[in-house]
Amino acid sequence: MELPETDFDDLVADALDRIPDGLARLMDNVVVLVEDEPPADEPDLLGLYVGTPLTERGSEYTFHAPDQVFVFRGPLLRMCLDLEELAEEIEITVVHEIAHHFGIEDDQLHAWGWG
């Protein structure tokens, strides 16, 4: 599937807008970034969280660079057949990676159906 970068970015923004306000307000020192491709050793990776989850931050957590949530455009475009499927997969990816920011592990996310 092909899609202009700006349209893809808009889908990511839409997914972020669907995060409930109460939850979004709890996010702290995190940025969401769209990259073309994941690391070479994980070519099918759709998203990635890099940082210190909120559940692991203590009083010494000050002056840190923002945590990063990456959404990888290439694998998502390659796996989706149409815009509807792409929007759904982007939302799943965004929710999945932001959940890591809150300290939720993959096992629990999979149990809840968030891939």
- Concatenated DSSP letters for 46-96? -EEEES--GGG--TT--SPPPEEEEEEHHHHHHH-SSHHHHHHHHHHHHHH
Mean pLDDT of the chain: 93
Residue 5 has pLDDT above 70, yes or no: yes
CA distance 80 to 73: 11
Position 58 in a domain: no
pLDDT at residue 110 in the model: 81
pLDDT at residue 115 in the model: 65
Position 60 in a domain: no
Structural domain range at position 11: 5-53+65-111
- What is the mean pLDDT of the segment spanning 20-26? 88
Question: Worst-scoring range by mean pLDDT, 79-83, 84-88, 93-97, 103-107?
Answer: 103-107
Number of domains making up the chain: 1
| Residue predicted with more confidence, 56 or 114 | 56
CATH number at residue 21: 3.30.2010.20
Residue 20 confidence class, pLDDT cut points 50, 70, 90? confident
Position 59 in a domain: no
Position 30 in a domain: yes
Residue 51 confidence class, pLDDT cut points 50, 70, 90? very high
Residue 62 confidence class, pLDDT cut points 50, 70, 90? confident
Phi, psi of 41 (to 5 degrees): -80, -5
